[in-house]
Amino acid sequence: MALKSKSTKSAVSVEDLIGLPEIKGETAQVPAKAVPEVRSAPESKPYIALPVNTKPVNSFVPGIVAAPHGGAMSNLNGTDRYSNTPTQNVSGYLDIMMEGHGFLRPKFVPSDKDIYISQSQIRKFQLREGDEVSGQARMPKENERYLGLLKVETVNKVPADKSSARPNFDDLTPIYPNKQVRLETEKLPLSTRIVDLFSPIGFGQRGMIVSPPKAGKTTIIKEIAAGISKNHPKVHLMAVLIGERPEEVTDISRSVKGEVIASNFDEAPEAQTKVAEVALDRAKRLVEMGIEVFILLDSITRLARAYNLSVNPSGRTLSGGFDPAALYPAKRFLGAARSCEEGGSLTIIGTALVETGSRMDDLIYEEFKGTGNMELHLTRALQEQRVFPAIDIEKSGTRHEELLLPPETLKKVVTLRHMLSLLGEGTEKTATLVERLNKSASNKEFLENLQKG
């Protein structure tokens, strides 16, 4: 029986709507032509992963090596994400930014060859400012500027997983210097022989070379560096030059057998102070490893001047227009010198300029002269008479020199000072001493002849 629509307006059957004849019976058969053919979707093929190109990249960038295959690089500090990334060996000195990440700087100062290191790596290996970090780095990506460090291998030439056991520099116990840095090498130069007698330097000394212009302080610095390199080859020698002339930087770089960290006088004050801070951080990290470090700073005066231009004004001004807030960063540099009871030492010998005609320079010297425990004074009067080294013996000296010199040597030096004092004031003392030293081949021979009369 045909189905009827429930609509009250018209009684139209379903067969009339779809155009089929009315079929009576219990089972209604729908003709095949009336139903559209439904086709099934074609059977999809299983996904096959394409092979990854694992051929070595030999011409990626000069100096880049192909990434090792297999498990050789499967443990990049706990991840194998970069197992197929070309890498290269890198090394640099860590400079940590305020945001937490850092850069490895091969030349201590910022350059295009710096390597980025993430904050997570710095925390994992407890890295500190000035650490020498070596490892594997990848090339920068499209929008990156620096290489990215993938794996930290060594810290200060020690395996990275063992570097966290070192002590903190501020926790080391400072003591008086008790081991002399012997500078005398041969008959000449006389400057190092005079220093050994009248202003002996010990490991951990905090000393100043006070000099007027053109009195030969740069020459004495180079001669001290040469004496250290010859007599103490295991000492880590650093020359820190602040606001120096470019030709002087070249000269000292070729003369000193050690690290030379320099800034020119035409650089911004912030760049000059940054050089000093990087050098000091580097020295502290070495002392934590038990190494003897010797820093020659030229000069304290220019470093304090640079801080005077870069620090936030305190609202107070001292004589010569010097801000007292600029004294503390410079004093922090010089105050880091110490001999450590646990091992290692940091010796800092800095130069201070006087008689320059600047009240600021005189103020800086007056503020710093009480902080050191060794002073070597140069005088313009000797320089004008062409007497070199132009060392003022009467003003030069070392505190607690009895800890550095053997008792017999100390007794002879005291006698020598008394004999020279009989010559009165002026330049005759140094001139006479230089004449007598030239007649002996060593300080030992000189003191023996002195005792004989």
Binding region for ATP: 202-207, 214-219, 245
Element spanning 88, H or E: strand 87-96
Please give the angle made by the CA atoms of 137, 138 and 142, to the nearest 5 degrees.
Answer: 145
Cα separation of 19 and 15, whole Å?
6
Question: Does a cis peptide bond (omega within 30 degrees of 0) precede residue 111?
Answer: no
DSSP state of 274: H
Q: E strands within 277-379? A: 292-298, 338-340, 345-353, 374-377
Q: Which of 195, 105, 264 is nearest to 404 (CA)?
A: 195
Going by DSSP bridges, is the β-strand pair 115-117/132-138 parallel, antiparallel, or unpaired?
unpaired
Rg (C-alpha) for the chain, rounded Å, is: 38
Which residues, other chains included, contact 394 with Cβ-Cβ below 8 Å and sequence gap of 6+? 420, 421, 425, 429
Element spanning 414, H or E: helix 407-421
> What is the identity of the amino acid at 171?
D
Cα separation of 201 and 239, whole Å?
17
Cα separation of 288 and 272, whole Å?
25
Cα separation of 369 and 318, whole Å?
17
The answer to whether residues 293 and 287 touch, using CB atoms and an 8 Å cutoff, is yes
The label of the residue with tokens 């010089």 reads 334
Q: Which of 48, 21, 51 is nearest to 34 (CA)?
A: 21
Binding residues: 202-207, 214-219, 245
C-alpha neighbours within 13 Å on the C-beta side of residue 88: 16
Cα separation of 363 and 330, whole Å?
13
